[in-house]
Amino acid sequence: MMPIGPLMIEHRLIERMVRLMKEDLTRISETGRIDPVFIDVAVDFIRSYADRCHHGKEEDILFRDLGKKQLSSEHKRVMDELMEEHVYARKTTRRLVSAKERYIQGDKDAIEEIMACLGELTRFYPAHIEKEDRRFFIPCMDYFSKQEQAAMLQQFWQFDRKLIHEKYRLVVEQLEKRS
């Protein structure tokens, strides 16, 4: 399996979550009510799966290794755009969390910000995924030998194995700070 296989499989799960977020956005538009639990679950998914796991592998492994190659100007430009887009997604997710917190504290005006953030994220991810799947991942594999690709795939598996331990260590540390 090429190392991009796991990344593209992860895209399919992200697309499923984006569909759920679109459904929630429609529900909010129709009812004017926010489900803070859904927002928490969506944020956890975005932060843990889409960003830390998926973007983490891209940034910490794929982009790092591509940075050592003589990339075409087009591939270099797209890789830089993708990294900027990851930053944008993180900022938008932080805005969503902030707006949700204001909403649960009684600020009904926060609904507009929640809807704006959900809208931005549900537009962002499909375009971002399309760019990676169609214009970047597959052509960039030509920069790597079969041995380099196999080593990268192994690093992806190692990355995933460490991730759950890191996530829940942080959960415990956060809870300990409350005590």
**pTM for this model (two decimals):** 0.91
- From residue 145, alpha-carbon distances to 3, 4, 5, 149 in Å are 12, 14, 16, 6
Encode pLDDT of 12-62 as tens digits. Answer: 999 999 999 999 999 999 999 999 999 999 999 999 999 999 999 999 999
- Give the closest residue to 78 by CA, choosing from 170, 167, 143: 143
| Alpha carbons 150 and 159: distance in angstroms, whole number | 14
For residue 148, give its domain range: 4-178
| Alpha carbons 58 and 70: distance in angstroms, whole number | 18
Count: domains in the chain: 1
CATH number at residue 145: 1.20.120.520
